[in-house]
Chain A
Amino acid sequence: MQVLFAILIAGALLGLNVWLYIANKKTPVPEGCESLKPDCSGCGITDCAIRRKEEE
């Protein structure tokens, strides 16, 4: 019984997560913000996802 609740809670949160993730992706980026860039040059974290995206 307890396990069922565990699965339900995890499932609900995961569903919420996926839903928000997809909804967020669908929301258009406001005007003027299409090409926002962080300053990666000063950062030493060379394996960061954002940096990789920028370098592509």
Chain B
Amino acid sequence: MNREGILYKVVLLGVLCAVCGILLAGVNAITEPIISEAAIANEKVNLEKIYPGATFAAIDFEDESGMITGAYSAEGKGMIYKIHAVGYNSDGFDFLLAFNEDGTVGGFQVLEENETAGFGKRCFEDEYVSQINALTSSDTAPLLSGATLTSTGIQKGFDAAKALFEAR
């Protein structure tokens, strides 16, 4: 075939692209599951507290509020959202909120917080947690007097997660 001909170049470039494309797709198919597995591994311990023994998968989401930092599906059980909210402490706090398949709250789990004991911290104690656990995806999280900033953060996070859950 003519080296300088246009056909030769097109064939050469086509073969090159095909080889590279197939190679990449192949490697991607092998590594992708390992990568997504590893991405959940850190969260898995916390997710297990809400839905013990479930199979989890990280899912893509589009969040307008900017508060949701992760979304995970628990197969056959529900959805878990990781939320970062800001309360009294400007570093904010992280918590997990789960909705069961039927729309009721499946769990509320605080991950990292530095709120003030006796005030903001009350949002992570049994009384408030049981109030949250009794809600569904059509409710609004209640405010807690004396811990207004913290519970407002939770309320906003709840709304953001609710919107994602309803939109899925």
Which A residues have a C-beta under 8 Å from some C-beta of B? 2-3, 6-7, 10-11, 14-15, 18
Contact = CB atoms under 8 A, between A and B. Distances in A.
B22 A3 contact: yes
A21 to B, nearest CB: 11
A16 to B, nearest CB: 11
B25 to A, nearest CB: 4
Interface of B: 9-10, 13-14, 16-18, 20-22, 24-25
- Please report whether the interface of chain B is mostly helix, strand, loop or mixed according to DSSP: helix
Contact of A18 (B9, B18, B24): B9
Contacts, number: 24
A11 B22 contact: no
A11 B20 CA distance: 10
Main secondary structure of the interface of A (DSSP, over half): helix
17 contacts: A2-B25, A3-B21, A3-B22, A3-B25, A6-B21, A6-B24, A6-B25, A7-B17, A7-B18, A7-B21, A10-B20, A11-B13, A11-B14, A14-B13, A14-B17, A15-B10, A18-B13
A18 B6 CA distance: 11
Nearest to B19: A7
A20 to B, nearest CB: 14
Contacts of B25: 2-3, 6
Contacts of A3: 21-22, 25
A9 to B, nearest CB: 9
A10 B9 contact: no
Contacts of B20: 10
A6 B17 CA distance: 9
A25 to B, nearest CB: 14
A3 B17 CA distance: 11
